[in-house]
Chain A
Amino acid sequence: MSSSSVNYKNFFYPPGGILLWIIILVEVITFGFALVALAYNNHLEPEIFASSRGMLNTHLATLNTLLLLVSGYFMADAVHGFRANNLKKAKTGFSMAMVGGLLFVGIKSVEYYGKISMDIGLTTNTFFTYYWLLTGFHLVHVLIGLVILLVLRSDLKKKPEALKLEDVEAGAAFWHLCDLIWLVLFPMLYLI
């Protein structure tokens, strides 16, 4: 296991690395623009947006939010465990974070199945175009995050000495990015 004493206060070394933080900023800006566009279209077509939003399952989306938050908690705990050379805690954290992510994907699949069986697609109306694109892109991020977690957990199990703290922090930062995006998507799509 390779750990380092990085000075996080240095502009070039935020926790997770500067490259990942640039990606995080770009992603947040991109989703931010999409959310403002969604709000603008909501202003133009309030009835369509209200009736379409009424067809979404708020309970499942709230449950998914809680799952991502718990998953993020375990991810943060795993990083602390790795930093303290507590590999068991780190492994457990990675595993629990992955379970949270997989449950999120499962619930999202149930939600998607419900919409598809009602013939609600990308071109149904403006609201559902946003719904499919935004939740779809977010889901892609969750799936990529799960692959990163799988690789990190596998490396931690097979060759922990080769795993660097910077890599663990970068993987964790990407996983938390999924939380960040969802936290602003959730009220805009399901609650407003």
Chain B
Amino acid sequence: MKNNLFYTLALLFFLTIANALVSNFSFATKITAVALLMLLAAAKFLLVAFRFMELHKAHGFWKAAMIVLVALIVSGVLIAI
């Protein structure tokens, strides 16, 4: 279990560094950069929820609620920006 947590942390570190690097790239359109950054953030959000908060053990409702919420936030940001 400790190894699983450690691998999750390593992946979260990798995604955070990727987030910071992506923000320095020049993209053809702003929406591409925003979409990439928000998708990386959503991946980290779900990793923390499912692995650190042990949401993978919970009832399907709680899993679906978190996935739908983060999808709504990312979609809302992409539509509004």
Contacts and interface: CB of A to CB of B under 8 A. Distances in A.
A69 B43 CA distance: 13
Nearest to B39: A187
Interface of A is mostly: helix
A65 interface: yes
A15 B58 contact: yes
A69 B52 CA distance: 10
Interface in A22-56: 25, 28-29, 32, 35-37, 39-40, 42-43
Interface residues of B, number: 46
Interface of A: 8-11, 14-16, 21, 25, 28-29, 32, 35-37, 39-40, 42-43, 58, 62, 65-66, 69-70, 72-73, 75-77, 79-80, 172-173, 176, 179-180, 183-184, 186-188, 190-192
Given A11-B59, A39-B78, 15 more contacts: A14-B58, A14-B62, A15-B58, A25-B65, A36-B73, A42-B81, A62-B16, A69-B9, A69-B12, A73-B6, A73-B9, A80-B2, A176-B49, A179-B48, A186-B19
